[in-house]
A = this chain, B = another copy of it.
Amino acid sequence: MSQSGFVSSITRQSEDFPGWYNDVVLKAELASYSPVRGCMIIRPYGYAIWESMRDELDRHIKRTGHSNVYFPLFVPRSLLEKEAEHVEGFNPQVAWVTHAGGKELDEWLAIRPTSETIIADSVKDWIQSYRDLPLLLNLWNNVVRWELRTRLFLRTAEFLWQEAHTFHATEEEAAEEVATGLAAYVSVAEDWLAIPVLQGVKSPAETFPGAVYTHAIEAMMRDRKALQAGTSHMLGQNFAKAAGIEFLDRDNIRKHPWGTSWGFSTRMVGATIMAHGDDSGLVLPPNVAPLQLVIVPIFRTEEDRRAVAGAIETLEASLRDVQTVSGPLRFKVDWREESPGFKYNHWELRGVPLRLEVGPRDVASGQGVLVRRVDRVKEPIPLAGLAAELPGRLAGYQRDLLDRARSFRDAATFRVDTLGEMSEILDGEGGFLLAPWCGSAECEKEVSAKTGATTRVIPFDAPDEGGACVIDGRPSTRRVVFARAY
């Protein structure tokens, strides 16, 4: 991080949410714009947040029997075009390599927007018998989708992600796998990022191009808009048929395997920022925070400095062995030659969960003042017991963030029955709208045209109930969540 930077004020969240978001990303040095249109640079602080969620998700992926692999960055044009719906969905966003090694290529190569087609083509030889199934693969890589309007982390022409690709002998097993993928995302979102999510099925219009159905998790940001936080797709036999994958089943019949794919990307860094942040900047959950505790020494005279330094040195020694849920305690003492106020602002902007202020009077009484970033609750605390206290404090802070986000979302979730009610809420403070919908793409489009809200998911836990579609009044059996979305 820049040592010479000064703390500049950021746009107020309540006044201009997109302006606030950009300020936080740039001034907390999470990312910056690059010389390439739509592509971003992820800086150390932002990358450390990504590494934390990536590693946690990787643990889930491995624990559930998946193996990491790598497939080429390039997809030959003829392969990308094998699955008709798929190519139609992605073609407009593809970046093409046409020249390489000083020559024009015979066949254009797509930079992968996702890897279904090249994987289906490649695993043909690996899948001969039911004994080769399930095949559970996962890739951590970069993909490119040429977006017209981009935003740091949320929508970039290139992004980092994980894409799992699996093949199964039966449709039932594939359906279970779709759930396994989604469960991993739910756990990372809620337990690691403290972001509560709705789980459900996407409308056909929002389904992945080439998939039979798509399950997704949706989160509410602090501007009450929705963000799709992970998707898990049932591909059925579509890609397997297009690629000609067949296996000999137990019953001696040759069949196409059933496939799934699921992905989780760097946009979740953006989600973490927007789900918790406030006017002072980031508010990071302890599990994902690159720094969990910052210690700020306070002194005026050299004598005081020595006393404070002595107490902090003792404290530091005790903190080195502290273990938290997300590994050894990540802490730092800020000895820079700046005022305490400057340092408070600096670390609040960066969302460090806990701050410990240690001044000469504190040292005399063997204590410090612990301040929570999210609610600024201050509390004197004995330095001798801090190491033992911290794991519990951080776990409590993590829970508090999840509870806070859930309360916020629940308070902004409304059952509505008419388009009028929807518009009123969306043009007011906004929120998630549980509304009856007949299921037709036309009505979905009309809601979007009139209110800017799209269908997010039909929640798994939505009760069956009677209702009349907010557009055409036809019967609806379960409510769908409408919201304006990222």
Contact = CB atoms under 8 A, between A and B. Distances in A.
Interface string A466-485: 00000000000000000000
Contact of A41 (B3, B34, B71): B71
Interface string A103-120: 000001101000000100
Interface of A: 2-4, 32, 34-36, 39-44, 47-48, 51, 67-76, 79, 91-102, 108-109, 111, 118, 121-122, 125-126, 128-129, 131-132, 137, 141-142, 144, 146-148, 157-158, 160
Nearest to A79: B35
Given A93-B101, A100-B96, A41 B132 contact: no
Given A95-B100, A122-B32, A142-B141, A39 B4 contact: no
28 contacts: A3-B131, A32-B122, A32-B125, A34-B72, A34-B122, A36-B74, A36-B75, A36-B76, A36-B118, A39-B73, A40-B72, A41-B122, A44-B137, A47-B69, A47-B70, A48-B67, A72-B158, A73-B73, A73-B144, A74-B158, A91-B102, A92-B101, A93-B101, A96-B97, A96-B100, A97-B97, A100-B157, A101-B148
How many copies of the chain does the oligomer comprise? 2
A328 to B, nearest CB: 12
A35 B120 CA distance: 11
Contacts of A109: 36, 95
Given A3-B131, A131-B4, A137-B44, A34 B95 contact: no
Contact of A111 (B69, B75, B97): B97
Tell me what chain A mostly uses at the interface: helix, strand, loop, or mixed.
Answer: mixed
Question: Which residue, of A100, A141, A147, A158, has the highest number of chain B Cβ atoms within 10 A?
Answer: A100
Given A3-B132, A68-B47, A122-B32, A95 B102 contact: no
A79 B39 CA distance: 15
A76 B42 CA distance: 18
Question: Which residue, of A44, A92, A118, A160, has the highest number of chain B Cβ atoms within 10 A?
Answer: A44
A68 B39 CA distance: 17
A435 B132 CA distance: 53
A100 B100 CA distance: 16
A102 B98 contact: no
A131 B70 CA distance: 40
A406 B101 CA distance: 38
Given A67-B47, A67-B48, A73-B158, A4 B129 contact: yes
Given A44-B68, A51-B68, 12 more contacts: A2-B128, A36-B75, A36-B109, A41-B122, A42-B70, A43-B69, A47-B67, A70-B160, A72-B158, A73-B73, A99-B108, A142-B142
A338 to B, nearest CB: 12
A75 B141 CA distance: 18
